[in-house]
Amino acid sequence: MLDIRDLTTSYGPVKALDGVTFTAPKGKITAVLGANGAGKTTLLRTVSGLIRPDRGSVHLDGQDLARMPAEKMPGLGLAHVPEGRGVITELTVEENLRLGGLGRADRSRPADFDRVYSIFPLLNDRRNAIAHVLSGGERQMLVIGRALMAEPKVLLLDEPSLGLAPRAVAQIFELVRGLAESDGLTVVLVEQNARSALSIADIGVVLNLGRLVAQDEATALAADVKLRHAYLGF
Amino acid sequence: MQQLLTTSLTGLTLGMVYAAFALALVLIWRSTRIVNFAQAPMAMITTYVALVVVDAGMSYWIGFVAALLSGLVLGAVIERVVIRPVEGKPEINAIILTLGLFVVIHAVAAIIFGSGFRSFPAPFGLRGFEAGGVTIALTGFAVFTICSVVVVMLLLVALFHHTDVGLKMRASAFNQEVSRMLGVKVTRMLTLGWALAAVVGSLSGLLIAGGNLVYPSYMDSVVVYGFVAAVLGGLDSPVGAVVGGLLLGLGLSFVSGYVGSDLVALASLAILIVVLLVRPAGLFSHATARTV
Amino acid sequence: MSSVAFGSLTGRLRRTPLRRNLIGGLIGLVIVILVLESVSPFRQGQFATMAYLGIAVGGLTVLTGLNGQLSLGHGALMAVGAYTAALMLHNVEKPLPLPVIMLLSVLVTVVVGAVVGVAAARLHGPYIAGATLAMAVAVPGIASFFGDTLGGEQGLSVSTPEAPGWFADAVYFLTAHDITGTKYLAYIGWIGLIISFVLLANLSASRVGRTWRAVRDDEVAAELAGINVGRARVKAFVVSAACAGLAGSVMAMVVRIAAPSGFTLTLSLSLLTAVVLGGLGSLVGALIGAALLTFLPQTVTGLGQSLGLTDLQSAQLAPLVYGLTLVLVILLAPAGLVGTIRNAWRRRQSPDTGSIHPQQEATP
């Protein structure tokens, strides 16, 4: 599980994250919700080491990741699928996956392509295609597959539904749900599309202007109409 | 006819060397988005290292290896110490920085090794092959030049497309942030990129020097030709660097042979202007619209 | 005078750039006269050198600092000006009046500058650096190719023109000193510098200057605002070329020769060093840079000799210092000497302006 305490990050005088504290339980999906600019992406980028926090801690398996550089994260079991997906379009599908596998902690066994290809048969069909030619939904599968190649314990997903047709979104979400359940993967899912996110999440966390304003089981949040209107747009 | 053949062969051989230099520039451009104008004096000073070794009585090949190794170290040190602070900053900083390095390395070489002209050995001989009573303008050294550049290119292809390190280097060049997120130590890859580029540059330096005179400014025009070749092929494209180098070598050889050797630099400038006006992204670039 | 009246006087002075620059120019002229009249002929020669370097650096700093175009080929443009002047002063019995020669040099260089400027207008960053680098490398070859007219490797010798009678009289009237060849050249150089700097300062403060800065800062925004980016860049290039041409013509007279060896890549890079050191865009910085270029080599060479280096080696110390300066300025003080001081001054005046920039990334 991922234990975040008092995480605070500033851009100059502006606090993008202010004392955020919550725990993402193992094997469950924690949805991070809120309006644009609420700090959701900053949260993920701080956890994954791209941004240095002012203060606070991020504990995974007893280790504080808060001030570690991004390069160390895959080796510690944390994978981040960024906003905009982060496909390296000049490389092939298989090269993207292989790259993901290079970051895994346990180098005693070869990288597990078979597993990822069985989860995403489509990637297997297109393994030698240049990633540039993939559609949005296919790219999303590629980056999740790439993250899985590192055999992570924690998966951070930033707006996977962006730009995808509803059917593709549903597919992706179902897949993530399955991974959390079967692998005991701790998933932190940032989404603008709060309604869909809450439909597959176990826990929901709501940010507003960098602060955590609500934390509850997903079903409870989805039922709280006042909260939804105030912060979630539906 | 004879002159046509001679000019073409000379052009091709020279073109190979320009291709190698252009390749060095492209390697650095791809990874750090910097044009390393200092590549020329860097190659020059590693050639002087070889010269020192050879003058001390050791074989050419030991000098050859010494030059390449010193290039490797020089490239790594320069990236780590001098260039690292300006990566990601406005590009004018890096340009001025590499020009400053250009001048510094020049002056250091002149102080340590003197400004005089020194001759440099060329293995495999400088006489053309005989065929049917006619001497072809292809010397043993020219064959060596072509072969060594081809070998280096094949090695680079193998490195970049069939090794993990190569994959990491390519990924770092294409998308630094994502690569970091996947666990790639991007800064280390950048250093490695500069080191490899410097080795390729050193090779060009040795090949130009063979059978010719070595002096602190002898590589200066090569950085211009290498740059033009790289732009011609597309600064992002290693294949383009090779093709651009060959085309430029041929073109300049014809200018030298049929117009006058004094105007070669001007001809390269003219080619550069034409390329930048007609097809700024170069022959082999990817489609992304880019302002030049 | 009450403080209020004084304040309004300086306020009025400050409000019109033209007036301020003209007054600055006049003060400069007075200083020049005072200095030139009190130093030895050797120093006068050095000041003459500083003058033409200052003109070239001034033009270049406007091009690079205000308009953002980096040129490594201004040594080549100086060569154009120098050779033009040399052609008119080489083995000529009765040369044209000096201002005419200098004007013609400027015009020829402006034409060349326009051609190069049009080609360069679309180039950015390393492309324009590489293209102008090619230009700098190509010049010696051209001079050799047209060896008959341009004197080849030896170059064209230039006989120093004599000061016209009225000028000698004017100098005697003002300073009670006679005019020598060297002093005449120094005056020519500095008058040229003052005129060009006043013009550059006015351009810089005018709408043209603002256009240039807009193009430098954000091309897309400038285009959207209706500025013809290409034309603005060509204009800037041409202005800097004019300065280089003027500088070249003075250089030909001071050095008494126009030869390929005088216009190496080192010259262009030295000009760049002076620009960077003084701070891109600063005319004051340009003067400081030119002073360093003029007076530093002697000091540094002397230092080298006292350290036991040979003459040849000591001669390399000046370029070494230039290169190190470029490297260190970029690494330590990217705004240049003058720029850094100016920024520090500004920060002292308004301590509350903090800039909002993203948090530092965690480094490995």
Sign of the alpha-carbon dihedral angle for A142, A143, A149, A152:
negative
Q: Which residues of chain B does C145 touch, with a Cβ-Cβ cutoff of 8 Å?
A: 260, 262-263
pLDDT confidence tier of residue C1, bands split at 50, 70 and 90: very low
Look at chain C and report how many structural domains it folds into.
1
> Which of C200 and B90 is assigned the larger pLDDT?
C200
Candidate from B167, B185, B286 with C-beta closest to A99: B167
Residue type, A77: G
**pLDDT tens-digit series, residues A188-208:** 999 888 888 998 999 999 999
Averaged pLDDT, A145-163: 93
The mean-pLDDT minimum among B166-180, C87-101, C103-117 falls in: C87-101
Binary contact (B280, C122; C-beta < 8 A) = yes
Q: Model confidence over B145-163: pLDDT tens digits?
A: 999 999 999 999 999 999 9
Residue C359: its pLDDT value, please?
36
Average pLDDT, chain A: 91
- The answer to whether C172 contacts chain B (CB < 8 Å) is no
Position C351 pLDDT exceeds 80: no
| Per-residue model confidence (pLDDT) at position C343 | 67
Confidence of residue A24 (pLDDT cuts 50, 70, 90): very high
Contact C362 A72 (CB under 8 A): no
List chain C residues with CB under 8 Å of B110.
312-313, 316
Q: Name the CA radius of gyration of chain B, rounded.
A: 19
Interface of C with B in 100-139 (CB under 8 A): 119, 122-127, 129-131, 133-135, 137-138
The pLDDT of residue C346: 66
In Å, how far are A91, A147, B166, B169, C120 from B161, measured between CA atoms?
10, 21, 6, 10, 37
Answer yes or no: do A71 and B177 touch at CB < 8 A: no
Tokens of B100: 């400053």
Lowest mean pLDDT among A86-95, A122-131, C261-270, C330-339: C330-339
Range of the domain at A169: 2-232
H-state helical runs in chain C: 3-15, 17-38, 41-61, 67, 74-89, 98-120, 125-145, 147-150, 165-175, 181-205, 207-217, 219-224, 229-255, 265-278, 283-306, 311-315, 317-332, 336-349
What residue type is assigned to position C261 of the chain? Answer: S
B262 confidence band (pLDDT: 50, 70, 90): confident
Cα torsion C242, C243, C245, C246: sign: positive
Which range of A16-30, C89-103, C265-279 scores highest in mean pLDDT? It is A16-30
Tally of domains in chain A:
1
- Nearest CB partner across the interface for B227, out of C130, C144, C317: C130
Nearest chain A residue (CA) to B184: A71
Q: Is residue C192 part of a domain?
A: yes
CB contact under 8 A, B181 and A82: yes
Nearest to A70 among C354, C360, C362 (CB): C362
**Which chains are within 8 Å of C by 3+ CB pairs?**
A, B
pLDDT at B93 over 90: no
Residues 296-355 on C with a CB inside 8 Å of A are 354-355
The pair of three-digit structure tokens given for residue C75, joined into one six-digit string: 């040594």
Residue C99 touches partner B, C-beta closer than 8 Å? no
* CATH number of the domain encompassing residue A53: 3.40.50.300
Shortest Cα distance, chain A CAs vs residue C353, angstroms: 11
Q: Is C55 within the bounds of a domain?
A: yes
Q: What is the pLDDT of residue B133?
A: 63
Would you state the structure tokens that stand for residue C72, as one six-digit string? 């490594």
The pLDDT of B26-39, averaged and rounded, is 90
Q: What is the separation, in whole angstroms, between the first and last Cα of chain B? A: 40
Q: Which of A70, A91, A102 sits opposite B170 (nearest CB)?
A: A91
A90/B174 touch (CB, cutoff 8 Å), yes or no: yes
Mean pLDDT to the nearest integer, B30-54:
92
Domain that holds residue C106: 17-264
Long-range contacts of A73-76 (CB under 8 A, 24+ apart): A73/A48, A73/A49, A73/B181, A73/B183, A74/A100, A74/A103, A74/A104, A74/A105, A74/A150, A74/A152, A74/B181, A74/B182, A74/B183, A75/A103, A75/A104, A75/A105, A75/B183, A76/A105
Residue C69 belongs to some domain of the structure: yes
Which range among A120-134, B243-257, C151-165 shows the weakest confidence by mean pLDDT? C151-165
Average pLDDT of C111-137? Answer: 85
State the nearest Cα–Cα gap between C141 and chain A, in angstroms.
42
Task: Give the model's pLDDT for residue C15.
Answer: 62
Q: In the prediction, which pLDDT does C319 show?
A: 87
Residue C348 distance to chain A (closest CA, Å): 20
Q: Which residue has the tokens 């730009």?
A: A163
What is residue C339's predicted lDDT score, i.e. its pLDDT? 60
Backbone angles phi, psi at A90, to 5 degrees: -80, -10
CA atoms within 13 A on the CB side of A154: 25
| Closest CB to B171 among A71, A73, A88 | A88
Cβ pair A103:B180 closer than 8 A: no
Assigned domain for C269 exists: no
The answer to whether C234 faces chain B, any CB pair under 8 Å, is no
Alpha-carbon distance of A31 to B238, in angstroms, equals 44
User: Which residue ranges form the domains of chain B, and what is each CATH number?
Assistant: 2-278 (1.10.3470)
Query: Is residue B121 predicted with pLDDT exceeding 80?
Result: yes
Predicted local distance difference test score (pLDDT) of residue C82: 92
Indicate the pLDDT class of residue C362, thresholds 50, 70 and 90. Answer: very low
- Lowest mean pLDDT segment, chosen from A160-174, B66-80, B161-175, C148-162: C148-162
Interface A-C: count of C-beta contacts within 8 A: 35
Mean pLDDT of A102-129: 90
Average pLDDT for residues A20-39, to the nearest whole number?
90
Which range has highest mean pLDDT (A103-112, B160-169, C177-186, C339-348)?
B160-169
Q: Is the pLDDT of residue B292 over 50?
A: no
Q: What is the mean pLDDT of residues C215-242?
A: 86
d(CA A74, CA A111): 13
Please indicate whether, in this complex, the C-beta atoms of A71 and B185 are within 8 angstroms of each other. yes
Query: What pLDDT is stored for residue C12 in this prediction?
Result: 57
Kindly list the residues from chain C whose CB atom is less than 8 angstroms away from the CB atom of residue A71: 364
How much is the pLDDT for C127?
85
| Interface touch A11/C363, C-beta < 8 Å | no
Nearest CB to C362; choose among A11, A13, A69: A69
Round the average pLDDT of chain B to a whole number and report it.
Answer: 88
> B76: pLDDT confidence band, cut at 50, 70 and 90?
very high
Using a CB-CB distance cutoff of 8 angstroms, which residues of chain A are in contact with residue C363? 69
Give the closest-approach CA distance of B82 to chain C in angstroms. 8
Of A36 and B247, more confident? B247
Best residue in A51, A68, A78 to probe C by mutation, most C CBs within 10 Å?
A51
* Model pLDDT for residues C179-215, shown as the tens digit of each residue: 777 888 888 889 899 999 999 988 888 888 888 888 8
Confidence of residue C352 (pLDDT cuts 50, 70, 90): very low
* DSSP string for residues in A156-182: EEE-TTTT--HHHHHHHHHHHHHHHHH
Distances (CA, A) of A200 to A29, A161, A184, B129, C205: 7, 13, 15, 76, 62
Q: Return the residue of A nearest to C364 by Cα.
A: A69
How many residue contacts between A and B have a Cβ separation below 8 Å? 62
Name the pLDDT band for C353 (thresholds 50, 70, 90): very low
Chain A contact set for C364 (CB, 8 A): 69, 71-72
CA dihedral (C129, C131, C137, C142) in degrees, to 10, reads -150
Tell me how close the Cα of A120 comes to any Cα of chain B, in angstroms: 20
ipTM value, please give it. Answer: 0.91
In this prediction, residue B184 carries a pLDDT of: 94
C362 touches chain A (CB under 8 A): yes
Distance between B228 CA and the closest CA of chain A, angstroms: 25
If you measure CA to CA, which chain C residue comes closest to A71? C364
With CB atoms and an 8 Å threshold, state whether A14 touches C358. Answer: no
User: For the residues C232-241, what does the mean pLDDT come to?
Assistant: 91
**Helices then strands, each counted (H, E), chain B:** 11, 4
Q: Which residues does chain B have within 8 Å of residue A71's beta carbon, measured at their own beta carbons?
A: 180, 183-186
Sequence length of chain B is 292
Nearest CA in chain B to A146: B182
8 Å CB contact of A50 and B181: yes
Q: Please determine, for residue A129, whether its predicted confidence score (pLDDT) is greater than 90.
A: yes
Nearest to A69 among C354, C359, C363 (CB): C363
Nearest chain C Cα to A13, which residue? C356
- Interface contact flag, A69 C354, Cβ < 8 Å: no
User: Tell me, what's the pLDDT at C355?
Assistant: 39
Comparing CB atoms, the residue among B168, B174, B177 nearest residue A102 is B168
Determine the residue among B30, B181, B236 to mutate to test chain A binding: the one whose Cβ has the most chain A Cβ atoms within 10 Å: B181
Q: B183 and A72: CB-CB below 8 Å?
A: yes
Beta-carbon count within 10 A of C18 CB: 12
Cβ atoms of C237 and C117 closer than 8 Å:
yes
B114: which chain C residues are within 8 Å (Cβ-Cβ)?
Answer: 312-313
Q: Are strands A55-60 and A63-64 parallel, antiparallel or unpaired?
A: antiparallel
Tell which of C356, C359, C361 to mutate to test the A interface (max A CBs under 10 Å).
C359
Mean pLDDT of A131-141: 91
pLDDT tens digits, B212-221? 889 888 898 8
C134: nearest CB among B102, B108, B272: B272
